[in-house]
């Protein structure tokens, strides 16, 4: 009905978002391909956006009365926040509710990469245990590793805490050190790479994190070195990583995220020493439900109470109205 607030949903989103939003808002669903295609009257009625994926300046400009953009996911690099902020639009994300899931996945991916469990399972399923005998010994182990975490934010800290019982050495690199933590702080990524044999990256996609995992960093990790990425593929120089894995400069890698998803460079697929996941770090039913709820709660709280639950730092936290 016309007296309900209209919320735009471009492209696909978790069904729970639509189900809950639909109870009190008019949902306007549109295709993403080819840019915003909504008649002027409908466009003018849109006051909120729920989105999983991108929402750039051209989308923001196509809807003159947007007040809030709620992103499904903690990483909101797909949204032009600068442009939103310049127009007084609040952007929200879904922090914290996925910390445990993503940290669990990082540990699982690290173990899979070190111990080759996915390959060992294939060995069994393909009948090779019976025909050829025991699965070959994994070249690497968790034991005695020196682990450096690139980014010790909400998720990075949960990864560090999970690593403690493995009796490994733990360090981290961020731009500013965190207070009172029992981990070694490295002011540069290079210094950390030189001091550890295992690097886990969990930094956001920003201009400063573009391809920071480069040939220099990978060779500092060395032939026994392992690189794990659960942050963004944007942070990795794929050509350098594929070369390092292929020529033994680096021991192994485990990747959940890629530069141009869902496209994965063919170079990775043909390497034996890389463990690959299709961006599933937060992808469980309970965690995605919690993320969906936070998207909806941000929109409801904005329109009902005038204050979103989890606004991103770049956009104003002013009260509505």
> Which residues make up the interface to ligand NDP (CB under 6 A)?
74-75, 95, 98, 102, 151-156, 173-176, 202-206, 208-209, 230-232, 256-257, 279, 281-282
Nearer to ligand NDP, 43 or 281 (CB): 281
Q: Which one from 126, 164, 261, 314 is the annotated catalytic residue? A: 261
Give the span between the Cα atoms of 108 and 117, in whole angstroms.
10
Six-digit token pair at 306? 């005038």
- Closest by Cα among 187, 235, 191, 186 to 214: 235
Six-digit token pair at 285? 């039913």
CB of 163 to ligand NDP, least distance (A): 15
CB of 82 to ligand NDP, least distance (A): 16
CB of 230 to ligand NDP, least distance (A): 4
3-state secondary structure of 247: helix
Nearer to ligand NDP, 43 or 160 (CB): 160
Nearer to ligand NDP, 204 or 265 (CB): 204
Q: Which one from 14, 47, 145, 232 is the annotated catalytic residue? A: 232
Nearer to ligand NDP, 17 or 203 (CB): 203
Q: Which one from 279, 301, 307, 320 is the annotated catalytic residue? A: 279
- Residue 226 phi/psi, 5-degree rounding, is -135, 135
3-state secondary structure of 303: helix
Nearer to ligand NDP, 152 or 193 (CB): 152
CB of 208 to ligand NDP, least distance (A): 4
Q: Is 261 among the catalytic positions?
A: yes
User: Among all residues, whose Cβ is closest to ligand NDP?
Assistant: 153
Q: Show the beta-strand stretches assigned E in the chain.
A: 6-10, 26-30, 46-51, 68-71, 90-92, 146-150, 169-173, 184-185, 198-201, 226-229, 252-255, 274-276
Q: Is 301 among the catalytic positions?
A: no
Separation in Å, CA 86 to CA 16, 44, 89: 31, 19, 8
CB of 261 to ligand NDP, least distance (A): 10
Which positions ≥6 away from 295 have C-beta within 8 Å?
13, 14, 17, 50, 70, 71, 72, 92, 94
* Residue positions annotated with a catalytic role: 232, 261, 279
């Amino acid at each position: 009905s016309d007296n309900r607030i209209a919320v735009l949903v471009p492209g696909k989103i978790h069904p729970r978002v639509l189900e809950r939003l639909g109870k009190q808002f008019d949902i306007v669903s549109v295709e993403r391909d080819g840019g915003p295609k909504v008649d002027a009257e409908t466009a003018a009625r849109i006051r909120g956006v729920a989105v999983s994926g991108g929402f750039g300046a051209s989308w923001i400009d196509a809807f003159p009365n947007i007040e809030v953009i709620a992103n499904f996911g903690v990483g909101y690099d797909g949204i032009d926040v600068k442009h939103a902020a310049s127009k007084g639009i609040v952007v929200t994300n879904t922090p914290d509710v996925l910390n445990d899931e993503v940290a669990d996945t990082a540990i699982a991916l690290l173990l899979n990469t070190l111990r080759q469990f996915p390959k060992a399972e294939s060995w069994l399923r393909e009948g090779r245990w019976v025909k050829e005998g025991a699965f070959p010994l994994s070249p690497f182990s968790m034991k005695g590793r020196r682990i450096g975490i690139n980014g010790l934010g909400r998720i990075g800290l949960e990864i560090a805490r999970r690593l403690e019982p493995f009796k490994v050495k733990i360090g981290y690199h961020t731009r500013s050190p965190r207070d009172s933590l029992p981990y070694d702080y490295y002011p540069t990524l290079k210094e950390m790479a030189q001091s550890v044999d295992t690097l886990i990256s969990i930094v956001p996609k920003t201009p400063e994190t573009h391809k920071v995992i480069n040939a220099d960093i990978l060779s500092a990790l060395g032939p026994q070195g392992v690189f794990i990425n659960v942050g963004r593929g944007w942070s990795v120089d794929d050509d350098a990583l594929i070369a390092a894995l292929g020529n033994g400069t680096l021991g192994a890698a485990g990747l959940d995220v890629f530069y141009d998803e869902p496209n994965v460079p063919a170079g990775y697929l043909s390497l034996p020493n890389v463990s690959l996941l299709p961006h599933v770090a937060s992808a469980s039913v309970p965690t995605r439900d919690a993320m969906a709820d936070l998207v909806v709660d941000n929109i409801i709280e904005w329109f009902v109470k005038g204050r979103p639950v989890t606004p991103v730092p770049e956009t104003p936290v002013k009260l509505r109205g």
